[in-house]
Amino acid sequence: MFPEVAERVAAQLRRRHGCGVYATADPFDFATRLTQDLRQASGDLHLRVVRYALRATPRDAASRCSSAAC
């Protein structure tokens, strides 16, 4: 992204944030709103924000467990 475009996008996102547009408890809704604003401000329809649901894997759970009882 060119610096002048990045400045324009940042200014737009700050304005929208100040208006409370991103005030949502739903991370998927937040990602959708942010994606729409990024695309509108930049003119680049390739930009997107995604939120993936995290799932713990057995290896992740094992690494968090420090006792043999887990």
Per-position DSSP letters for 32-52, written without gaps between them: HHHHHHHHHHH--TT-----P
Note the pLDDT of residue 21: 94
Is 38's pLDDT higher than 80? yes
The tokens 């930009």 sit on which residue?
Answer: 47
Note the pLDDT of residue 70: 43
pLDDT, one tens digit per residue, over 3-32 is 999 999 999 999 999 999 999 999 999 999
More confident residue, 12 or 57: 12
Q: What is the dihedral of CA 7, 50, 37, 42, to 10 degrees?
A: 50
More confident residue, 19 or 58: 19
